Amino acid sequence: MARKRSTRGGQSAAKDSSSKAAKTTKPETIKATETKKAPAKAAKSVETKVMGAASPAEKTNAFKSFFAKKYEGKENVDSLFGSPKLVAALVAEILGSFILVMVTLTTQASPLFVMFGVLAAALLAYKISGAMLNPVVTLGALVTRRISAIRALFYIIAQVLGAMLAYIALKAFLGAAVEDSMTGAPTIYSMISIPEGRLGLVFAIEVIGAAIITLFFARAIQSRKSLYTFGAIFAGGVFAATIFAMSASSYIGTGFAINPALAVAMEAFTKVPENFGVNALAYIVAPLIGGIIGFIVSDLMTRAANAQEA
C-alpha cells in the first residue's frame, strides 16, 4: 500500500512541475510572438511612409535616380582608343550618317525615302555603334546618361564628317551632271532661308521633329527586341518626324533639317549668309533641344509604366 501512495504522489508532483513550467514559459512565448509581430508593424509604417508624401530628401534622390548613369564602366580617351571597337563604331557612324544625308539630299527629303535610308543605316550600324546617326540622338543620350561624354563627342564628330562627305560627293557629281532639256539641271535638297518673323515657327518645327525622332529611338532601345524591330521603330519615328516637318514648313514657306550634321554640312560648303546666326539657332540649336526632350519624355513614360505595374 505504501508503494501505491508513493506513485500517486510522484504523478501529482510531476503534474505540478509541468503546470509550473507551462506558467513560466507562457510569458516567454508571448514575448516571442510580440517580437515577431514587431517587424510587420514596422514594415507597415515604412509602406505608409512610401505611399505618403515624399520628403525633400526623397525627391532629391528621385531626381538623381532619374538621371543616373545607364551605361557600364568608365570611359576616357585612353580606354576608347585602346579598343578597336571605338574605331569600328566611328566608321559605322560615318557610313550611317553618309547614307542618311545622301538619301535626304538626293530625294528632296522625301519622307518615304528618308525612312528607308534610316532603316538601311540602322541595320548597318546598330550592332556596332548603336546607330545613333544624328547629333540630336547622341546629345539626348548624353544628357540622359546613356552614353559617356567622350564617346558622344567622337560620335558627333563622326556624324558631321559623314554628312560633309555626302554633301561633297553629291556636289561633285552635280557639277559634272548633264542638264536635261525636260527637267533642267539636277538639284539637291537645300534649306530655304528663314523669312523675317518666322524664326519662332521654324524653331518649333525643329524642336518637335527632333523630339519625335529621339522619342522613337529611346522606345526602340527600351524594347530590347531584335535588330529589325529596332530598325523598324526608329525608321518609323524618322518617317513621322519628316512628314510633320515637311508639312509644317511648307505651310509657312521655309525649309527644315532636323539634323544638325546636315545643317552644318550645308552651311560649311555654301557662302556664309548674312543670317548665319539665325540659321544656326533654328537648324542646329533647336533640334538639339528637341532631342533632349524626346529622351526625357521616354524616361517619364517608362517610370509611369513601372509605377503602375508596382
CA angle centred on 146, ends 238 and 129, rounded to 5°: 65
End-to-end distance of the chain based on CA atoms, in angstroms?
76
- For residue 31, which amino acid is it? K
Q: Please report the pLDDT score of residue 255 as a whole number.
A: 85
Q: Please report the pLDDT score of residue 138 as a whole number.
A: 97
* Cβ-proximal residues to 303 (8 Å cutoff; 6+ apart), any chain: 66
Q: Please report the pLDDT score of residue 61 as a whole number.
A: 65
How far, rounded to the nearest angstrom, does the alpha carbon of residue 119 sit from its chain's CA centroid? 18
Residue pair 207/286 in contact (Cβ under 8 Å)? The answer is yes
Look up cell 544628357; give the residue: 143
Helix (H) or strand (E) holding 93: helix 84-106
Q: Please report the pLDDT score of residue 238 as a whole number.
A: 97
Closest alpha carbon to 218 in 276, 160, 302: 302
With 0-12 / 13-18 / 19 or more C-beta atoms within 10 angstroms meaning exposed / middle / buried, residue 230 is: buried
| Alpha-carbon torsion, ordered 14, 20, 22, 24, to 10 deg | -150
Q: Please report the pLDDT score of residue 5 as a whole number.
A: 46
pLDDT by residue, tens only, the chain of 310 residues: 444 444 444 555 444 554 444 444 444 444 444 444 444 444 444 333 333 344 455 455 666 666 677 666 677 666 666 677 888 999 999 999 999 999 999 998 899 999 999 999 999 999 999 999 999 999 999 999 899 899 999 999 999 999 999 999 988 887 766 555 455 556 777 776 787 888 899 999 999 999 999 999 999 998 777 889 999 999 999 999 999 999 999 998 888 999 999 999 888 776 555 677 788 889 999 999 999 999 999 999 988 888 777 6
Q: Please report the pLDDT score of residue 268 as a whole number.
A: 78
Q: Please report the pLDDT score of residue 174 as a whole number.
A: 78
* Separation of alpha carbons 208 and 214, rounded Å: 10
Look up cell 560627293; give the residue: 169
Q: Please report the pLDDT score of residue 215 as a whole number.
A: 96
What pTM value is reported for the model? Answer: 0.75
β-bridge partners, 180:
184
Query: C-alpha grid cell for residue 271?
Result: 557662302
* Separation of alpha carbons 182 and 251, rounded Å: 28
Please give the C-alpha separations between residue 278 and each of 100, 104, 195, 202, 284, in angstroms, as whole numbers.
25, 22, 10, 10, 10
CA angle centred on 227, ends 224 and 231, rounded to 5°: 100
